[in-house]
Structure 1
Amino acid sequence: MKPDAINWTPPPKDANRPPAEVRRILRLFRPYRGRLALVGLLVGASSLVSVASPFLLREILDTAIPQGRTGLLSLLALGMILTAVMNSVFGVLQTLISTTVGQRVMHDLRTAVYAQLQRMPLAFFTRTRTGEVQSRIANDIGGMQATVTSTATSLVSNLTAVIATVVAMLALDWRLTLVSLLLLPVFVWISRRVGRERKKITTRRQKQMAAMAATVTESLSVSGILLGRTMGRADSLTKGFAEESEKLVDLEVRSSMAGRWRMSTIGIVMAAMPAVIYWAAGLALQSGGPAVSIGTLVAFVSLQQGLFRPAVSLLSTGVDMQTSLALFQRIFEYLDLDVDITEPENPVRLETIRGEIRFEDVDFSYDEKSGPTLSGIDVTVPAGGSLAVVGPTGSGKSTLSHLVPRLYDVTGGRVTLDGVDVRDLDFDTLARAVGVVSQETYLFHASVADNLRFAKPDATDAEIEAAARAAQIHDHIASLPDGYDTLVGERGYRFSGGEKQRLAIARTILRDPPVLVLDEATSALDTRTEFAVQEAIDALSEGRTTITIAHRLSTVRDADQIVVLDGGRTAERGSHEELLRRDGRYAALVRRDTQLAPATS
């Protein structure tokens, strides 16, 4: 299931309350309400200062100049200059605070989404393209930057400015004010329609950006480049990317132009309003109505022109907020995902871990449709003992190993560590207790030392070197020009498969877990490399409870007990010698390995 296909249904709306998404967005700003209150004060002060300037202008034109009062003229002119200075200072402070708050909100959102994804079960990532996950964090949250850093402040600022300006206009002349506001309801209706249209386009645009991000992540990784070139598909991949990019171009243009003509019409009408005011004032004067002084008329037009900018900006802000709701909904979809594997309310913490593992009547299914993957598994691995799990492909071997570190939770029965259900343990205890070395070795694009320190951040250089020696990889690292400072490259492509496995083993040795899970750790290696890696594994397994998932049986002969799985059930159990004497499924697997050995050596 892709993240865009998540069955997310918003709660029913209450007609007397704002939409749930809006209330949720407002809650994001709650930790910063003190700073926002300061922004509100600055906005209010700025609006009051702004509307004072036309009144000063009216006094200049109607009193100071006609009456030749030079002192009053100088004072009024100085007042107009001061209002401009104060407006600039208020604007800078307002921008600083609102941008800081907005960036903090974006930081909170990014962190919340990342933390939520860290808690998601392994199954989520097997169903979801990595590029789509990255797109939610980068593109969707990045697309909300304007909303959370400036739109909210712009909304308050422009709304306050509009209200203050309308009040000032009414104070000057209520009749001219009515003429000016006659078309306002039509403008609001137009902006709401444009907002809904852009919201739909934005949703499609973000999905397309997620698809492109996934394509880039997959095809431009080291593995993707190797596959594309060796298959001769570089040109077709480029063509496919160009087609996806072409779709995005169309959506970007449509998003930018949606309602542009309608919004331009509003601008034309607003710009023509001064002419209408002069015309209305002239008609009133000719019809014998109350005369409007030149100062009042000029001040009113000045206020109206001042109303134009915040009014149009307010309508545009409404459109932007409706558009941003699409981005917020996509982020909230991730934040609302159910976390299947959670820490219990009162977790058990084990200070001393012996390492006994029990599978007690364990059942597991990935989902109801696929049926059971494991059924009725009963196995006990004593502390310090070793268990090997073998069987044909698809028998449930790896799934069984994933239940110990709680990468998945059982659907029936339980898995215990030292008698405690692993679902009752705190995550820290489980992480300290169980180390996993799998066939898919993952190394970060960082130095060798940093990759090893991922297991133990405070490890000393001596501890890192000792772990590398135990894993039989120190000599190779030391022979490199930069030694432990060598960058391993993306996914460790500067190292061979056997070298990467030994680095993974060294990393696990450094962590020193009492329980070790080896999930087909040598199955992808040739026989010669497998022998070298197996020596490192033997050193790692010494004194630990070890569960080995194996496809090749040469690595499990010395296990204390061997379990053969078939169809998710225990088909056989015993030591290597006991199972050979039974001449059952295990013996058949051994014969198969013996026949294949010459071909793999």
Structure 2
Amino acid sequence: MTSPPFGGPGGGPMRTRKADPADRAQLEESPVSLRRIGALFAPYRWQIAVVVALIVASSAISLANPFLVREVIDRAIPEQNVSLLVWAVIAMLAITVATAVFGVVQTWISTTVGQRIMHNLRTRVFTHLQRQSLGFFTRTRGGEIQSRLTNDIGGMQTVVTSTATSIASNVTTVIGTAIAMAVLSWRLSLLSLIVLPPAIWLTRKVALMRREITAQRQKALADMQTQIEESLSISGVQLGKTLGAGPALSERFSGTSTHLVDLEVRSQLSGRWRMATMSIIFSAIPALLYLAAGLPATSGGMTIGTLVAFTGLQTTLFRPLMGLLDVGVSVTSSLALFSRIFQYLDLPVEIDDPEKPVPMPREKVDGAVRFDQVGFRYENADRDALTDVTIDVPAGSSLALVGETGSGKTTLASLVARLHDPTSGRVTIDGVDLRDIRLAELSELVGVVSQETYLLHATIRENLRHARPEASDAEIEAAARAAQVHELISSLPDGYDTVVGARGHRFSGGEKQRIAIARTLLRDPRILVLDEATSALDNETERAVQAALDVVSRGRTTITIAHRLSTIRDADQIAVLDHGRVAERGTHEELRALGGRYAALLARGGGAGPTAEEGAVAERGATDVAPRVQARRRASGSEEAGDRVAVEV
């Protein structure tokens, strides 16, 4: 089957292209091996061979049509040879049916091969990216990752079903047509060699002018789409309303739309010029051939049938020839696709399973955590985030981490879940280095509830079951009850089958946080890491959830990044971090009496903090007044309220 090299299926308008500078830059940055590309297609070599054979056969038998037309015009009709006429018509119909069938089979095979290659690559890239560290996702734009998984890998289908088949089809068509033209009339073939080059040059010139306008139009459309996404999303609308930016956003959008109107008009006009140019060319070439055939000096006794057949071949030749001129662009674009995909597949896995893992079945793990001279530095950072941190957290005990913003609390806690690996030192569970534990087993041992709650756009049940797919409905409800969110879910019309909406926008911050806590509790981890897990809750809900956490934390090792005093005062030990180092460590009472950094944090607690008398105690390190302050609070029933100190984190 001869596939149209310009436009989509069915033969849309012809277009010509220039190699995208971004594709060239991609190949210069990350060259791709043809052998590696060939390895992707190697399992399907026989299917590809069949496709090529079908293309060659389809192109070859299609060239018989002009010769059949010549026989009909020169012999069958003038001689009233009915038998020849009938067989010629039957042959024309047979060629049409055969090329159509070949085309269907070719499309089926090439699409199947393309989809399988896409599936394999898509799965490999997705799986490989899942193994990347948080650092990769921090320094990589989310849109870029999505683009490579969808657009770039999706472009693989075009490489297989369009680019490769189009090149094969165009090559066979051009070669076959040129031979057929020479057989029909070598004189007209020589004329074609003179006429075709300027015709092709003019067509490309007009098309390139339109391409520039189209590129500007696409950019304007992208800008408009970005403005719509940014301004009319939930967060964007909230920001616009709170900042009173509505009029400015509307004016900006109007300007973009006005610019787009101008580009649309120019694009349509350039498209019309392109079509007009092509119409002139397609009319001029046959006219010149008719002129040559009619002049005694150039006709050479040419028959009418030969002229009609040659004119048809001439028209057939123009399109695939233009397509072959774009081969370089198509190959560059295809190689750039492979380069971007391979670039992700070649990313090193910074945090991976050990070669010889130490078995850590959950039922045999006590949960003792030790930070042993831990140091850590983020990539491209100018200083260490953690320096020589050594803390023992016995199994079943609790550790609270406090400190100023940027002191390293979240970084230290993230090492327990192995979201990062320490630059120096080690983190152990029951004496086993985390780097010697399989990641799947570690995720069963360590449960994390972070400050930034992320919910899937799915039902509440599906969000909870995301932590443990095999969990029963009874276990899901038990986890929700422990997180003090079961009654809220039950009050919804659809209960646990309620869809949470995009990023959980249907729920308040506290409600989302409790769902996230329930999701973590469903895993029943030996070690809990609570990264300001109650920071988004109101006072009453916080007390309820904290009470639930106190219950479920019994028997588990708990590491809490503190936001309020009510969440850490009963911790077995509190570590105060300062610029990545442990400045102080002890219980609440010990650190308060010490009068150091922890006491200073209490004193700066603001309205939710201690009284002036207790603040003075903290500042000067005195302990004799503390019992009287606590006794007075207990007597007035205000101890709970007074203990809500907002520690800077």
Q: TM-score range by the shorter chain?
A: 0.7 to 0.9
Structure 1 position 286 matched with structure 2 position 297: yes
20-29 or 580-589, which deviates more = 20-29
Q: In the alignment, what sits opposite 2:18? A: none
TM-aligned CA distance change 1:238 to 1:115, over 3 Å:
farther
Q: Check if 1:351 corresponds to 2:397.
A: no
2:485 to 473, 496, 510: 473
Alignment of 1:72-151 (within 5 A): 72-108=84-120, 110-131=122-143, 133-135=145-147, 137=149, 146=158, 149-151=161-163
Please say which of residues 258-267 and 66-75 is displaced more in the overlay: 258-267
* Partner Cα distance (1:419, 1:200) in 2: 64
* Alpha carbons 1:492, 1:500 under 8 Å: kept: yes
Query: Residue 274 of structure 1: CA displacement?
Result: 2.4
- Residue aligning to 1:298: 308
Determine if the alignment matches structure 1 residue 449 to structure 2 residue 449: no
Give yes or no for contact 1:355–1:545 (8 Å, CA) kept in 2: yes
Contact 1:191 1:316 in 2 (8 A): no
CA–CA separation in structure 2 for the residues paired with 1:267 and 1:24? 44
In the alignment, structure 1 residue 569 sits paired with structure 2 residue 581: yes
Q: Aligned runs of 1:459-538 on 2, under 5 Å?
A: 459-538=471-550
Q: Provide closer, same or farther for how the CA distance between residues 23 and 212 of structure 1 changes in structure 2, counting only shifts above 3 A.
A: farther
Query: Any conservation in 2 of the 1:155–1:314 contact (CA below 8 Å)?
Result: yes
For the residue of structure 1 that corresponds to 2:188, the secondary structure is helix
2-structure distance, mates of 1:120, 1:500: 27
Partner Cα separation in structure 2 for residue 21 and residue 248 of structure 1: 41
Whether 2:416 is the aligned partner of 1:401: answer no
Structure 1 residues 100 and 277, CA, compared in 2 at 3 Å: closer, same or farther?
same
Aligned to 2:13: none
Contact 2:399 2:559 in 1 (8 A): yes
Q: Distance in 1 between matches of 2:359 and 2:208?
A: 52
Question: How many angstroms does 1:160 deviate by?
Answer: 1.8
Distance 1:365 1:187, change over 3 A: farther
Tell me, yes or no, if the aligned pair for 1:191 and 1:263 is still in contact at 8 Å. no
The change in CA–CA distance for 1:263 and 1:68 in structure 2 (over 3 A counts) is: closer
Q: CA deviation at 1:474?
A: 1.6
- Find the residue that maps to 1:564 and give its secondary structure: strand
Asked if the contact 2:32/2:339 (under 8 Å) is kept, the reply is no
Report SS of the residue matched to 2:391: strand
Letter in 1 for 2:318: F
Structure 1: where are the runs of 5+ without partners?
14-18
Say yes or no: does 1:547 pair with 2:559.
yes
**Are the aligned partners of 1:436 and 1:519 in contact in 2 as well (CA < 8 Å)?**
yes
- Residues 46/236 of structure 1: CA separation in 2 closer, same or farther (3 Å cut): same
Per-residue deviation, residues 322-361 of structure 1 (Å, max 9, x unmatched): 6677766666665565554344455555334332322222
Q: Which amino acid aligns with 1:295?
A: G
Summarize the Cα distance change of 1:381–1:242 in structure 2 as closer, same or farther, 3 Å threshold.
farther
Shift of 1:585: 1.5
Amino acid at match of 2:168: V
Q: Alignment partner of 1:445: what SS?
A: coil
Structure 1, 243-252 or 30-39: larger mean CA deviation = 243-252
Please point out which of 372, 380, 383 is paired with 1:371.
Answer: 383
Q: Is the 8 A contact 1:415 1:422 kept in 2?
A: yes
Bigger mean CA deviation after superposition, 522-531 or 347-356: 347-356
* Separation in 2, partners of 1:248, 1:190: 28
Distance 1:30 1:553 in 2: 63
2:623 maps to which residue? Answer: none
Q: Is 1:390 equivalent to 2:402 in the alignment? A: yes
Query: SS in structure 2 opposite 1:379?
Result: strand
Answer yes or no: is 1:584 the counterpart of 2:616. no
- Return the TM-score normalized by structure 2: 0.78
Asked whether the equivalents of residues 111 and 157 of structure 2 are also in contact (C-alpha less than 8 Å), the reply is no
Q: 1:206 to 1:259 in 2, by over 3 A?
A: closer
Give the gaps of 5 or more residues in structure 2.
Answer: 1-20, 610-640
Larger Rg: 2
Distance in 2 (CA, whole Å) between partners of 1:382 and 1:501 is 27
Q: Is the 8 A contact 2:375 2:424 kept in 1?
A: yes
Tell me the secondary structure at the aligned position of residue 604 of structure 2.
helix
In structure 2, give the amino acid aligned to 1:286. Answer: A
Q: 1:303 is aligned with what amino acid?
A: L
After superposition, the Cα gap between the structure-2 partners of 1:148 and 1:48, relative to the gap in structure 1 and judged at 3 Å, is: closer
Deviation at 1:145, TM superposition (A): 6.2
**CA deviation map 1:387-406 (0-9, x unaligned):** 11111122111111112222
Decide which moves more: 192-201 or 483-492.
Answer: 192-201
Report the 3-state secondary structure (helix = DSSP H, G, I; strand = E; otherwise coil) of the residue aligned with 1:20: coil
Measured against aligned partners, the alpha-carbon deviations of 1:94-152 in whole angstroms (never above 9, x if no partner) come to 33333444444555555455445434432344445545554555566667765554343
After TM superposition, the score normalised by the length of structure 1 is: 0.84
Distance 1:417 1:216 in 2: 49
Give the conservation status (yes or no) of the 8 Å contact 1:449–1:485: yes
Output the amino acid matched with 2:505: Y
Residue 287 (structure 2) pairs with residue 275 (structure 1): yes
> What residue identity is the alignment partner of 2:310?
F
Give the counterpart of 2:426 among 382, 405, 414.
Answer: 414
Q: Secondary structure at the match of 1:76?
A: helix
Q: What residue in structure 1 maps to residue 69 of structure 2?
A: 57
Q: Which amino acid aligns with 1:517?
A: V
Q: CA deviation at 1:72?
A: 2.3
Moved more, 99-108 or 572-581: 99-108
Q: What whole-Å deviation, never above 9, does each CA across 1:486-508 have from its counterpart, x for those lacking one?
A: 22233323333332222111111
Name the SS for the 2:395 alignment partner. Answer: coil
C-alpha separation between the residues in 2 aligned to 1:157 and 1:5? 28
Query: Is the 1:361–1:376 contact (alpha carbons within 8 Å) kept by the matching residues of 2?
Result: yes
Mapped contact 1:6–1:333 kept (Cα < 8 A): no
SS in 1 for 2:584: strand
Within 2, Cα distance between the matches of 1:26 and 1:202? 34
Distance 1:105 1:441, change over 3 A: same
1:245, CA displacement in angstroms? 6.4
Cα distance in 1 for partners of 2:272, 2:424 equals 59
Deviations 1:195-220, CA, capped at 9 Å, x for gaps: 99999999988887777666555544
Give the deviation of 1:240 after TM superposition: 4.1
Q: Does 1:20 align with 2:45?
A: no
Equivalenced residues, count: 591
Alpha carbons 1:195, 1:323 under 8 Å: kept: no
1:146-225 alignment runs, 5 A limit: 146=158, 149-182=161-194, 218-225=230-237
State the Cα deviation string for residues 36-56 of structure 1 (Å, max 9, x = none).
Answer: 332222212211220111122
* Cα distance in 1, alignment partners of residues 24 and 313 from structure 2: 50
Change (3 A) 1:10 1:327: closer
Q: Report how far residue 411 of structure 1 moved.
A: 2.1
Counterpart of 1:123 in 2: which secondary structure?
Answer: helix
8 Å contact from structure 2 (residues 73, 304) kept in 1: yes
Q: For 2:423 and 2:515, how far apart are their aligned partners in 1?
A: 34
- Whole-angstrom distance in 2 between the partners of 1:403 and 1:6: 39
1:296 is paired with a residue whose SS is: helix
Separation (CA, whole Å) in 1 of partners of 2:423 and 2:220: 37
Deviation digits for residues 447-483 of structure 1, max 9, x if unmatched? Answer: 2111111111121111111111222222222222222
| CA distance 1:6–1:165, change in 2 (3 Å) | closer
